[in-house]
Amino acid sequence: MWKEENNRLSKTFKFGNFVEAFGFMTKVALLAEKYNHHPYWTNVYNTVTIELNTHDAGDIVTAKDHDLANKIDKIKV
Amino acid sequence: MWKEENNRLSKTFKFGNFVEAFGFMTKVALLAEKYNHHPYWTNVYNTVTIELNTHDAGDIVTAKDHDLANKIDKIKV
Amino acid sequence: MWKEENNRLSKTFKFGNFVEAFGFMTKVALLAEKYNHHPYWTNVYNTVTIELNTHDAGDIVTAKDHDLANKIDKIKV
Amino acid sequence: MWKEENNRLSKTFKFGNFVEAFGFMTKVALLAEKYNHHPYWTNVYNTVTIELNTHDAGDIVTAKDHDLANKIDKIKV
């Protein structure tokens, strides 16, 4: 479900409402800070889009991005 | 599952880890602020205990507490 | 500092790091849900960009947007 | 300002309102998960009390607790 193109690994998540969406974002934030790998992400109401690449590698998709994507997919929502 | 005693409505929630517990807390926080009814609550790692009563009614359990308890139970975790 | 153009009221906020940025986002989220007016926003590391308009009014900038912008500016960071 | 007694390092923080208090809690949560050292903490409205000790050392106060206490004190509120 993650799509890799233009040197970005991206996925859009839909929730029932803003409370669910922001609860999910908080879990992603905790992982992002823990693994020191921060997404570019957008939110409006019940929709969260996450884009990952690795700045230190020249803004390309690396194993770090796939790792964080896997961790995000394991978040219980 | 909510227990009412000593003028408090309380419930303990267990999660798989801190990330899940704090994601839940964020959803509860959004509801608490929205309905202007704030819990006394504690957390350690994967455990969250919520206690509700109504300060403006003399620290007793009122319909406001049961309403928030119901809303919290509907949170998807 | 908020810029109004293309039917959007927008502002970019810079912080010292991700922890500060996401702490700010959490405060904005609490206000957004309380006032039932949710931004389109983006974040990467220490930078948060907020865009506001009013969907129910046909995606134009209304008093609701200026109100939320004022409340956001009063958030202590 | 942190008080060490009964094998706990504790401090109470007061804020202007719940939004500020929970914004602070989110920053603390990000640090706690990052350093894998989670507090016992309580909140009601504008007040947050944090208690730290080290479970793996037999629930006594260790350098890990003082480190996290220092990091919490550096959080911008």
Q: Which residues contact A68 (CB under 8 A, 6 or more apart)?
A: A31, A32, A35, A37, A39, A52
Write the pLDDT tens digit of every residue in C61-74. 999 999 999 999 99
pLDDT (0 to 100) of residue D76: 75
For A13, phi then psi, to 5°, come to -115, 135
What domain range includes position C64?
A: 3-73
Angle at the Cα of C34 (from C73 to B60), degrees rounded to 5? Answer: 125
C33 touching chain B per CB within 8 A? yes
User: How far is the C-alpha of C72 from the C-alpha of D48, rounded, in Å?
Assistant: 22
Describe chain D by its helix, strand, coil percentages, rounded to 5.
Answer: 40, 30, 30
What pairing do the DSSP bridges indicate for beta strands C8-14 and C3-5? antiparallel
- Determine the 3-state secondary structure of B51 from DSSP: strand
Tell me how many residue pairs between chain A and chain C have CB atoms under 8 A apart.
38
Mean pLDDT of chain B: 97
CATH number, domain with residue C28: 3.30.1360.20
Average of pLDDT values for D28-49? 98
Calculate the CA dihedral of residues C21, C61, A12, A8 and round it to 10 degrees. Answer: -70
The number of distinct structural domains making up chain D is 1
A20 touching chain B per CB within 8 A? yes
Interface-testing mutation among D15, D20, D38, with chain B (most B C-beta atoms within 10 A) = D38
The ipTM assigned to this model is 0.95
B19 touching chain D per CB within 8 A? yes
pTM: 0.97
Write the pLDDT tens digit of every residue in C30-55. 999 999 999 999 999 999 999 999 99
Write the pLDDT tens digit of every residue in A22-76. 999 999 999 999 999 999 999 999 999 999 999 999 999 999 999 999 999 999 7
Q: Which residues contact C45 (CB under 8 A, 6 or more apart)?
A: A38, C17, C18, C21
| Spatial contact of A49 and A40, defined as CB atoms under 8 Å apart | no
User: How far is the C-alpha of A51 from the C-alpha of D40, rounded, in Å?
Assistant: 34
Q: Tell me how far apart the terminal alpha carbons of chain B are, to the nearest angstrom.
A: 16
